[in-house]
Amino acid sequence: MTKTLRNFSGRILLVGCGNMAGAMLDRWLAAGLDPAAVAIVDPFATPREGIAQYAALGEWIAAGGSADWIMLGMKPQQLGDVADELGPQVGNDVHLLSILAGVSLTDLAARFPEARAQVRILPNLAARIGAGVSAVASLGRADDKAVTSLLKPLGHVTALADDSTMDLVTAFTGSGPAFVFRLIEAYASAGERLGLSSDDALALAIATFGGSTALLADSGEKPGTLVTQVASKGGTTQAGLDVLDEGGQLVALMTNVLRAARDRGRELADIARGEG
């Protein structure tokens, strides 16, 4: 499917345009989306040429605003207030999109029952350069082709049968870039502690991680297969692997990291429903 949005039809409203929603928007604009078809409700968003921006929903509504696609990108805790004000504007011709952590399709359907479809999207920050991962699930009469065409410029798209695993996906791919950045930072810091300059350590760490993931993606091999191609018995690589693999500590650590992020997503869902 083409990644251009030059022929994408419909007006888009972004309610909240922080780091993630802003990254998506910037990629859409780079892919040819008409700025005149976009409006933003966010008093703190970076202004973008040709895009109408409002400090509050009331201003957008008073200006006669209407949209075919409405994407929620504010804090999940604000869902109740936003739904009260926005609900009457979401008719049966509107796709209601959400990137809100922890807010389920059932929650969205309860808040916006008249929408043509409720679509839950879990993107990640690499969408900014078209190398992101977006998981998507929907309720209602979603135009799947149009939804996919909107997400394709952001990178890889995975359609889920439902959103029952979305809290885990939020942790796994949505939060994942931050975990990877932290691993790279730690790798560089270790190199610096052992004698590299800070600049050299970071540059080498970025190149090592980037080259390794590119090789893995290109090879079609399992990670373990490539590990055996780098490591030799009794060699330097194996000495390091022995530390990483001791007692299954690395897998245990990453499991705990993902569990904490997943569980926080569930807590945010409770807060959004007024139960937290």
pLDDT tens-place string over residues 215-229: 999 999 999 999 999
**225 and 103 within one domain:** no
pLDDT tens-place string over residues 181-216: 999 999 999 999 999 999 999 999 999 999 999 999
Other Cβ atoms less than 10 A from the Cβ of 216: the count is 14
pTM across the whole model: 0.84
**38 and 126 within one domain:** yes
**222 and 143 within one domain:** no
**204 and 161 within one domain:** no
Q: Distance between the two ends of the chain, CA-based, in angstroms?
A: 41
**24 and 147 within one domain:** yes
Instruction: Give the model's pLDDT for residue 113.
Output: 96
**153 and 181 within one domain:** no
Q: Concatenate the DSSP letters of all residues of 8-32 into one string.
A: --S-EEEE--SHHHHHHHHHHHHTT
Report the number of distinct structural domains present in the chain: 2
Three-state secondary-structure class, residue 249: helix
CATH for 248: 1.10.3730.10
Q: Is the pLDDT of residue 240 over 90?
A: yes
pLDDT tens-place string over residues 38-51: 999 999 999 999 99
**Domain span holding position 212:** 176-266
pLDDT tens-place string over residues 101-141: 889 999 999 999 999 999 999 999 999 999 999 999 999 99
**106 and 26 within one domain:** yes
Nearest to residue 250, comparing CAs of 216, 276, 273, 227? 227
